Amino acid sequence: MDIQIGRGKTARRAYGFDEIALIPGQRTLDPSLADTRFSIGNIERQIPIVASAMDGVVDVRMAILLSELGALGVLNLEGIQTRYEDTQPILERIAAVGKTEFVELMQELYAKPIQPELIRQRIEEIKAGGGIAAVSLTPAGAVKFGATVAEAKADLLFIQATVVSTAHLAPESVAPLDLVQFCKEMPIPVALGNCVTYEVALNLMKAGAAAVMVGIGPGAACTSRGVLGVGVPQATAVADCAAARDDYERETGRYVPVLADGGIVTGGDICKCIACGADAVMIGSPIARSAEAPGRGYHWGMATPSPVLPRGTRINVGTTGTLAEILVGPARLDDGTHNLLGALTTSMGTLGAKDIKEMQQVEVAIAPSLLTEGKVYQKAQQLGMGK
């Protein structure tokens, strides 16, 4: 039911992952039997985890490592990797600057023009290393560099912005990206996002999206919700967009995976994402904590360097283990941030879900006390779930 905010304004209640719980059914299964595979286009991955296209998360080396482990990493083609041949001094400056000087430094570093030859080089480096070359552009970047990405033979292209729609109005002097035409002409699968509603997700699928990213503002380093006041809590957003996917498949026979993007820290968060309807998750800060991450223990959002209105910040996530320990274990921490795949398969076993499709059908309860009930000692001593 809608809730009345005031005369003439009603609102629907929306839920975040911390407010829901997954309920076991009548069957359980051994975690080794859980099938976690998902696909985008003709690319299948064993681990339903996509590392976000953020400069502190994915570089060429990380994209290759993620591919080797069975996951996927997306390289930001409008970040420092395509503005600087040698990124190491740039990353060192970002890690060393103080909080008060950070925004100005980022605006300075990201003001250097993108070099198309570096786009080609980075894609070639990933493929030469045996990795899947998944890359990201904004809609404006896709207009400029889409052809370059196609010529370089990337494997996947993610077109991302705070909100992407098929009904974008632009000034007469600006030609907006025609998503339908772009998806049709690109020789590789194109994922589109971000969105948070049934209608927009459905329109993106009709435009030819190979996958749809869901999430506005929940990311650890994102400040869009504070700056713009825009967003929908992820449990509700994912469920709404997953409903669009299911309706679209019934109408067309084409299945478009939904990627829950942002707000995901623990294995439990991943399990809840999929239970709400996601096919996979896109995560940044959990991967930024790996020893191999380029950010040196720091993580910052894609909209952080905006010269006009920054909508992200730099956070210190630290370094807690190797990428392998974080993704597939063995876990060295007890708070759910290591062995994310193990958490998913164990949860699927507990819930009796043999694969992702069955996991999407498990029962969900509204449970605002799920993470605090009985955890007074952990909270007081900052252990486990109380960190």
Catalytic residues: 222, 314
Measure the CA–CA gap between 64 and 74, rounded to whole angstroms.
10
234 Cα distance to chain centroid: 12
Measure the CA–CA gap between 2 and 5, rounded to whole angstroms.
9
Residue 260, beta-bridge partner list:
214, 281
In terms of DSSP bridges, do strands 9-12 and 258-261 run parallel, antiparallel, or are they unpaired?
unpaired
Residue 278: both structure tokens together: 């996601």
Residue 82: both structure tokens together: 């395509």
Measure the CA–CA gap between 379 and 211, rounded to whole angstroms.
39
Judge contact between 269 and 215, C-beta under 8 A.
no
Residue 312: both structure tokens together: 């992200």
Judge contact between 149 and 143, C-beta under 8 A.
no
Residue located via tokens 């993106």: 204
Judge contact between 29 and 354, C-beta under 8 A.
yes
Polymer length in residues for the chain: 387
Judge contact between 278 and 214, C-beta under 8 A.
yes
Residue 259, beta-bridge partner list:
213, 280
Tally of helices (H runs) and strands (E runs) in the chain: 15, 16
Residue 110: both structure tokens together: 């990201």
CB proximity list for 173: less than 8 A, separation 6 or greater: none
Find the helix or strand (DSSP H, E) in which 73 lies.
strand 72-76
